[in-house]
Amino acid sequence: MDELWWAEGVRRVTVFTGAGISTDSGVPDYRGPQGIWTRDPALADLFTYDNFLADAEVRLRFWQVFAGRRGNVEPNAAHRALAELEAGGRALRVITQNVDGLHQKAGSSPRKVVELHGSLATATCLDCGERIPSDEAIARLPDEPVCACGGLLKPSVVMFGEYLDSDVLSQARRIAAASELFLAVGSSLQVEPAAGLCALAVEYGARLVIVNRDPTPYDALATELVREPIGTAVPRICAALSA
């Protein structure tokens, strides 16, 4: 039997991506052996909303770390394969936990990418709601970036202690429920409610395939577990879906 039998006859594909899909682009993950929080657990405090609000030193350190991650990062083979699969006419939606914008940079249609945790591309004023390009905020370092109104600026990402945008989450749930193949790539599947989209997809009849180096809490629900490196696994899967 074809090892990718689960890709046969599939019309609607949803790809759920986590930090692992971007590591080949030089963007470190969070919980892996060389992850940001593995190497420096104290940095997790910078991603906590209450700490960000309460402490100017935390905010400044957050912006410094954030600025250090804003290099000239390019999409890798996995991002490109997904964009090419969509361009070939496959009904494909991407739901991502990532905030790096690499799916869109690779060519995925922005309207078909759901960014569950926001985007690093902009910063939002916590007082007036104004959004500006993040590069404009970073340019104000080493002073703490603030809005023209004097309010605190925060990257437009969801921190620990914040809720996901309800409209964005509802959209992701609708997409998961409509999928025939739900491909979870490079996510530890430890962060809820995002990870629960796997169970929702299975509940509505989708085949769940998990591409991840390490075990996840949702492995028992999976039709297939793929431990192959993401940079080769995703292009191989996309080729099978294009056949």
Active site residues: 117
- Per DSSP, what are the bridge partners of residue 208? 182
Instruction: Give me the helix-helix angle, 230-242 and 77-87, nearest 10°.
Output: 10
Instruction: Provide the edge-to-edge strand list for the sheet that holds 153-157.
Output: 131-133, 118-125, 153-157
If DSSP codes are grouped into helix, strand and coil, which group holds residue 160?
strand
If DSSP codes are grouped into helix, strand and coil, which group holds residue 225?
strand
C-alpha 69/C-alpha 124 separation (Å) is 18
DSSP letters of 41-76? GGGGGGGBHHHHHH-HHHHHHHHHHHHHT-S-----
Type of residue at 37: W
On whether the CB atoms of residues 234 and 185 are closer than 8 A, the answer is yes
